[in-house]
């Protein structure tokens, strides 16, 4: 399957996930979907440029320092809203993460968790939904 085909399939299943969230009574907003690998200049350090992903990693907002699935247009961060309130913990994402995995995707709620603990813990990036290469 080509990258383009995977990207289009990811987009289709992502749309289905969003509809599923709304059908369950929740709402969503999109966080990062595509991350450019363009070099960005910092006005406080004009002698050096960084990619957005490098800045996220440097600031502790990502554990990926290189080009990850967002760069490949195969990942999205979805902010979950329940009852009009932004969800800030991982557990409410579980049914959506498991639904996503059932479709063939990879859910960030598994990151940093041993498979034996999947039913008890949610990993460090529950808002992350990606499609495998």
Predicted model pTM: 0.82
- Only one residue has tokens 């813990």, namely 121
Q: Read off the pLDDT of residues 11-68 as tens digits, 9 standing for 90 and up.
A: 999 999 999 999 999 999 998 887 667 666 777 766 777 666 666 666 666 666 566 7
User: In the chain, which ranges are E strands?
Assistant: 27-30, 40-42, 45-50, 75-82, 85-86, 106-107, 128-130
Domain boundaries, the chain: 1-34+73-133, 35-69
**Mean pLDDT, range 100-105, rounded to an integer:** 98
Q: What is the pLDDT of residue 71?
A: 81
Q: Are 6 and 133 in contact (CB under 8 A)?
A: yes
Mean pLDDT, the chain, whole residue set: 88
133 or 51, which is more confident? 133
Q: Which CATH number fits domain 1-34+73-133: 3.30.750.24, 3.30.2290.10, 3.30.1380.10, 3.10.310.10?
A: 3.30.1380.10
Q: 65, 80, 84: which is closest to 31 by C-alpha?
A: 80
Q: What is the pLDDT of residue 6?
A: 96
CA separation for the pair 79, 81 (Å, rounded) = 7
């Amino acid at each position: 399957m080509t990258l383009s085909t995977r990207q289009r399939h990811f987009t289709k299943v992502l749309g289905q996930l969003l509809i599923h969230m709304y059908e369950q009574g929740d709402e969503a907003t999109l966080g990062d979907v595509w991350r450019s690998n363009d070099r960005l200049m910092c006005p406080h350090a004009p002698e050096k440029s960084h990619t957005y992903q490098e800045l996220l990693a440097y600031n502790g907002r990502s554990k990926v320092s290189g080009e990850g699935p967002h760069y490949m247009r195969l990942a999205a961060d979805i902010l979950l809203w329940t009852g009009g309130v932004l969800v800030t913990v991982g557990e409410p994402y579980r049914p959506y993460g498991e639904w996503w995995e059932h479709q063939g995707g990879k859910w960030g709620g598994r990151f940093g968790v041993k498979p034996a603990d999947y039913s008890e813990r949610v990993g460090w990036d529950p808002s992350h939904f990606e499609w495998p290469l």
